[in-house]
Amino acid sequence: MMTSWVKLLLAAPVWLCALAAHAVTISVSTEAVPGAAPSASMAAHTLRLTGMFEPGDSEVLRRTLASLDRHPRARPDGPMATIELSSSGGDLIEGLKTGYLFSEFDVATVVRKGDLCLSACALAFLGGTSSHLPPLRSPSCNLEIGGTLGFHNFAASTNALRRKLGSDDGHTSERQGFHMARAGAALLMQYAADMGIDQAFAAQLLGRATESFDYLTTVRGFLALRVCPIGLGRPRISLADQATNICNHSMGWLSPVTSLQTSSMPARQARLNLLEYIQSNMQSFNVKGALADQLASYSVMRVERGVENLYADLRAANVPLPEIVGPVFEVEGYRIGIYSLKCVVSLSPDNPDKFDVVVKGPRGMARAYHAAPDGCRRLFLYDRETAINPRP
């Protein structure tokens, strides 16, 4: 059965575009997977797409992807292929069709350092997918630091519409253009929803002038579009500042705080403080049996090894305690109504992607409200407004 988005795209006008175009060029590189059995014939496919999007390009790409999809995947939970994109744009509809193909065939997208991916290319890029293993589609859109990803509102060619109508009647073409532009906007909003992108982004895009580009530069933009940076190092700020940024991201919609409200604790003291907090709120944590007896034991809580073992046992019992992977920080100043909340984070000084966070309330603890994105957790070490990929 033909899905609704396919029907809409087939009926949509081809005059919604950015610039006059030359068809894209697609090259394929295939490498054998090391260690795979000869009979398995597993391969890693890398494609490169260059040039401008024209009507019909997505059908060429579909045939290419269908051919590659006949081979077993290198990883069952990984993408069928990776595609590098370098294009200044072109036909909007072809860009959306291409993005849907990336999602359908599980193709991860990449924009390399020095490459441009603009307009229709940028929208296609957002279709990057690693897998459709239950329960959800897993996006895989990657921008190498130094690459350029730029979005803008689509343009409607009035001259092209008049030629299509066979008339110079300006009023007729304007009315038709309005209806077609509205259809294009609906397609863009639906595409954003299908790719799991905040629709506020699509709405903002539609409100921009067609000649005005919105480039992906800040941490806020990377997180909103679910894009992972390649080649991003650790920020050159203190661990306390990094911990504060982690908490500000993890607390979601709550107002951010500054590192002035952040204090550090030795690992042993942090474990003991958190165990004592659980001890004073036993009903909220529903700790029973032997673990409850140990929490109530004065001798266990006085011995460092006993504290470490009890802490590990409670974590194994799914009590929301942070994994201690390095320095521990407590960040306060968050509020929901009359309630004050604290964020407790432990982060590794060696691995920028390794940290753990819990939220401590008046009578209980919970996991972070917002989790860091898989594959690019280090984004949480940065302030939301930091430009990690400034325009060249």
What range defines the domain where residue 347 resides?
A: 239-381
Q: Give, as one character, the DSSP assignment of residue 260.
A: G
Distances (CA, A) of 81 to 43, 127, 145, 283, 298: 9, 13, 21, 50, 58
Instruction: Answer yes or no: is 254 within a domain.
Output: yes
Q: Mark whether 168 and 55 lie in a shared domain.
A: yes
126: closest CA among 108, 112, 152?
Answer: 108
pLDDT reported for residue 146:
97
pLDDT at 181: 63
Last residue of a domain, one of 186, 204, 230: 230
Domain membership of residue 101 (yes or no) is yes
Query: Are 157 and 222 within one domain?
Result: yes
Q: What is the pLDDT of residue 178?
A: 52
3-state DSSP of 85-126? EEECCEEHHHHHHHHHHHHHHCEEEEECCCCEEECHHHHHHC
- 159 and 39 inside one domain: yes
CA distance linking residue 278 with residue 298, whole number of Å:
14
Flag whether 391 is in a domain: no
Tell me which residues of the chain have a pLDDT lower than 70.
Answer: 1-22, 32-43, 134, 155-181, 298
Residues 71 and 159 in one domain: yes
pLDDT computed for residue 16 by the predictor = 41
Contact status, residue 355 vs residue 245, Cβ threshold 8 Å: no
159 and 214, same domain (yes or no): yes
Structure token pair of residue 131: 């897998």
Q: How many domains does the chain fold into?
A: 2
Quote the CA–CA distance of 159 and 163 in Å, as a whole number.
Answer: 6
Contact indicator for 31, 10 with CB cutoff of 8 Å: no
Q: How does the average pLDDT of the chain come out, rounded? A: 84
Q: Which pLDDT value is given to residue 101?
A: 97
Last residue within a domain, chosen from 205, 230, 255? 230
Closest CA to 17 of 204, 200, 159: 159
**What is this structure's pTM?**
0.84
Q: Count of alpha carbons within 13 Å of 88, Cβ hemisphere only?
A: 5
Helices and strands, counts by H and E, the chain: 14, 18
Instruction: Determine contact, residues 47/28, Cβ cutoff 8 Å.
Output: yes
